[in-house]
Amino acid sequence: MENYNSGSSNEEEYFRQLTEFFRDLEEEDRRHIRENLSREELALFDILTRPQPKLTGKTGTTSKNAAKELLETLKENKLVLDWRKKTRTKRRCPS
């Protein structure tokens, strides 16, 4: 963007880069479907497996299942966004 604004890049090159960027975004957006994971599960899968090489077969399936189980555990037990859902939270009265 800075190159375009400074005039050091022509319009065709800027458009090509922008098109490539959108193509990459679309591919990443479709990846969760191809991997049979939700977007959240895919994010955890990536954390668990990157920067290692691409996993295939049983190793890939095991890693995907681990990501699914981890997300389920986090949602059920660890990621409590509403403080009222925590049983340990008590209301404090002013002294």
Q: What pLDDT digit, counting tens, does each position of 21-59 carry? A: 888 888 878 888 888 888 888 888 888 888 776 777 888
* Per-residue pLDDT band at 68 (split at 50, 70, 90): very high
Q: What is the pTM of this model?
A: 0.52
Is 89 a residue whose pLDDT tops 80? no
Per-residue b or e along 49-84, where b marks 16 or more CB atoms closer than 10 Å to that residue's CB: beeeeeeeeeeeeebbeebbebbeeeeeeeeeeeee
Tokens matching residue 49: 């497996």
Instruction: Kindly tell me if the per-residue pLDDT of 63 is higher than 80.
Output: yes
Amino acid 12: pLDDT: 86
Evaluate the CA torsion angle 35, 37, 43, 46 in order and state its sign: negative
